[in-house]
Each structure stands twice: as structure tokens, then as C-alpha cells.
Amino acid sequence: MESSDIALFLIQDKNGKYGYIDKSGQLVIPCEWKYAFPYFYEGLASVSDNNLKHGFIDKSGKLVIPCDWSYASNFSEGLAWVENKKGKKGFIDKSGKLVIPCKWEEAYEFSEGLAQVRNKQWKWGFVDKSGKLVIPCKWKTAGPFDDGLAPVKDENGKFGYIDKSGNLVIPCNWNRTKYYIEGLARVKDLNGKWGFIDKSGKNVIPCEWENVLYFKEGLAPVQNINEKWGFIDKSGKHVIPFKWKSAGVFYDGLAPVKDENGKFGYIDKSGNLVIPCKWKWVDYFSDGLARVKNEQWKWGFIDKSGKLVIPCKFEYADSFSDGLAWVEDENGKKGYIDKLGNFFSY
């Protein structure tokens, strides 16, 4: 396997320095960095030296872009935004070359060939990969492009969407907008109610809900006027009754819910309670396991049958990813566990 394909996990040693291990717990990149990003993006991770200057390492641990920057973000579409000593943002490529000059007050990662930038007048626009300002800085806020549309906020504090030419294709008529997921976006009307629009801007699910989450696996959790949560499909039909104090979206056929006693469990897409509500808190399933919190506020992990496969004994636990999960035990010791509960620390 190429080193670029190996999953690596951030670790901190006794001296507070950061490095990376592989999923077997083997130290791959020595703990020598003052700070390091948890993940590699496009094969590179942002790290900072003892002078708090940022650069990038590859998965072999080689410093491929020198620590010359006050801050360096993740790579996306071959470019990463960086901050110089004057606090201005620009973009570098993977060779470390500054391809877009540091002249912006704020910047975000590239998405679909464009990146949001903010000028001194606190207005947002978009640059392309040559650094050309292709959409003027005229918006109070702007989100990244997704499937050709980006959410923006106008001078009146209302939200709409622009296309990649900068045309306002969905008017700024909404109090809030969210990103498109599964072809629909959440919107909040002038009366404070939530609904959904399609990519033409049509309000396909009326704004009648107190709160909503996004669609996942064809269903979305919504809250009614009685503060109960249920689920609707993309036609707006109520498919799971309004009986829950809170609810999350579906992942792999299961959604977390909270009952009247404040306990959490999981339902299937028919609304059946398949994992009983007995936990203080639960998360989505990741890597086949979900983190849960018991009555003593200790963290452990269950499988999709609801079986507690790793006991609730941790002060904190992250979700599993690529076979490992970050945890902290009752003595403050931090490290990773595998799915058998084996602990790795440095």
C-alpha cells in the first residue's frame, strides 16, 4: 500500500508535541510538532513548529512546505489558504508557491473552482484559481458553491443563492438558508417558520415547521408547534409520527431519538424503536459503532444491534474512523482505542 493511502491518526506525547500513528498503533510520524491538524487533506497536513509558524508535511512525515506562515488551512482542489505575518490571506499550491497574493482579510477553501474572500469593507466575493475576482465583493456573508449554487446574505440581512456567474438566481427573500442536501435546502421565512426549496427556488415543502434538519436517506426530521419531532419525506408527507423530544437524521437506516424521559435510542425508517431509549446521549453510527453516554456520564460504544461492545468508562470519546477512536480515560490519559477496546497512547 502506498503511504498516501495509509490512514494516520493524530497523537500527542507527554511533552505536548504532536505526531501520527497508524491503525495498528505504530508511531509513523514522530511527535515533534507544536500543533498539527487531525487529518490529511489531499495527502498533506498542516503543522506548526515551536515558533507557531505553519507549513505542511506528507504522510511520510517529510516537511514538504516550510513553516513560513502565521496560519495554513487545509488543501482543497490543489490549493490551501495561508495567512502572512500581516494577517492577510492568500493561497499556495502543493509546491508551496504563493499563487494568489495575500491581500484578503478572510478566505475559505476552494469549492467547485471558486473560493470565498472578504475585503476590508467586510464584503464577500469569490476568486478563481488564478486569483481573479470573478464575483464582486458585495455580500454580507457567502457560503461555498455546491452543485453550482452558493448561499449569500444581502444588505438587508436576507438570504438567497447565486450561480457561478454571480447572478442572483434565488432571490434574497429568506431569513435563513442552509446548504442543498439531496436536492433540497432548508429555508426560514419571515414568520420564523422552516420549510424546503428546490434548486429552482420553489418552496416545495411549505414553511410550517418550528425547526427542521436536512434530508438524509430521503427523510428529514421536523419539529411541530407542540415541540415534538417526527419525519417527513420529500413530498412533505408525515411518515414517522411526532412523538420525540428531539431527533437526528438517518444514517445507514438508523436515526437517534430522545423520548419523554430525556433518554436516547434509535429508530428505523418505519419509525420502530429498534434500540431502546436508555442512554443519556448518543451519536450517529460511524464505522459500525456509535458512541453513547450512560447515567454516570461515561462514554462507551454500541453496535447496530444496541449491544454495548466497549464499556462506558471514558471521560470523553470521539467517533470511530478507520478503525480507531480518540478517548480520554478517568485519569486524564488520552489516546486511541480500536474496536476491541485496545488502548494506544504515547
pLDDT tens for 257-308 read 999 999 999 999 999 999 999 999 999 999 999 999 999 999 999 999 999 9
pLDDT band at 345 (very low <50, low <70, confident <90, very high): confident
**CA proximity to 73, closest of 50, 54, 95:** 54
Per-residue confidence (pLDDT) for residue 2, from 0 to 100: 47
pLDDT tens for 30-83 read 999 999 999 999 999 999 999 999 999 999 999 999 999 999 999 999 999 999
The pairs formed by 20-27 with CB atoms below 8 angstroms and a separation of 24 or more are: 20/45, 20/61, 21/336, 21/344, 21/346, 23/322, 23/323, 23/324, 23/338, 25/336, 25/338, 25/342, 25/344, 27/346
Per-residue confidence (pLDDT) for residue 1, from 0 to 100: 37
Please state, in angstroms and rounded to a whole number, the distance separating the CA atoms of residues 26 and 32.
16
The residue type at 7: A
Complete edge-to-edge strand list for the sheet that includes strand 324-328? 316-317, 324-328, 334-338, 343-344
Average pLDDT over residues 143-167: 97
**Domain spans, the chain:** 1-104
Average pLDDT over residues 125-136: 98
pLDDT tens for 214-267 read 999 999 999 999 999 999 999 999 999 999 999 999 999 999 999 999 999 999
Specify whether domain 1-104 bears CATH 2.40.128.630. Answer: yes
